[in-house]
Amino acid sequence: MMHSITVPRIKALPQEAADVPQVMDAMSVPFEPVGVVNWPEEYPYCPDVAFRMAWCPEGLVLHYKVSEQSVRAVYSKDNDQVWTDSCVECFVRNADSNTYYNIECNCVGTLLIGLRGDDCGRSHISPEVLATVKRWASLGREPFGDRMESTDWELALVIPAAVFDKHPISLAEGVKLRANVYKCGDNLPIPHFVSWNPITAEHPNFHRPECFGELVLG
């Protein structure tokens, strides 16, 4: 079953990513759980994960909350292998296109944004453009190795629409986007691969645009 949520509009992008939780709280934006364990026999662990979003014509805002048994944040350089750390991800596309952006960020705000599709192959957004994405991480921005303890953390991203210039995402009231949201940690002591919308694949694979849920821009 495809999940669908209405994403509220905000007046403008927050000046700082650290302001995102307060802005979302003031608007009473609810969290959506990311709790689908798609490969339970091989990867049964499911951390407690939730996300919420907002939009305006100038861009997207994301806020994640995570509670997991251990955390890891080795990578500090954008477009590096953040999916192997404690990582949250949002993949998004226009409803009439299979070309999508994969927005991946570890728990200290190190970011990877890629573009994939039949008409563009695979590419990464340049570091100069990534630098325009504002980030706030409750664990700070400095990398660290495995922390073998239960940890709660939050992450907020303010993503300008210009990040999507190579293949523009429609940001207008009433638009229906397709997306999925994930939590992973390939190199954590307990690897896991959970999602917001179910994935039909034999092995862990988040790059399945046909399995995306729906975002209705309110």
Average pLDDT, the chain: 96
pLDDT (tens digit per residue) in 90-118: 999 999 998 999 999 999 999 999 999 87
Range of the structural domain that residue 20 is part of: 4-217
Q: Span 29-39, mean pLDDT?
A: 97
Higher pLDDT, residue 120 or 126: 126
CA atoms within 13 A on the CB side of 161: 13
Residue 214 dihedral angles phi and psi, to the nearest 5°: -120, 135
- Compute the residue count for the chain: 218
pLDDT digits (tens, 9 = 90+) for 123-148: 999 999 999 999 999 999 999 999 99
CATH of residue 190's domain is 2.60.40.1190
pLDDT value for 140: 98
Percent of the chain past pLDDT 90, that is, above it, reads 95
Report how many domains make up the chain: 1
Query: How much is the pTM?
Result: 0.96
Q: 194, 67 in Cβ contact below 8 A?
A: no
Given a cut of 90, is residue 213 above it in pLDDT? yes
Compute the average pLDDT of residues 26-32.
97
Q: Is the dihedral of CA 141, 169, 177, 60 positive or negative?
A: positive
For the segment 32-50, the average pLDDT, to the nearest whole number, is 97
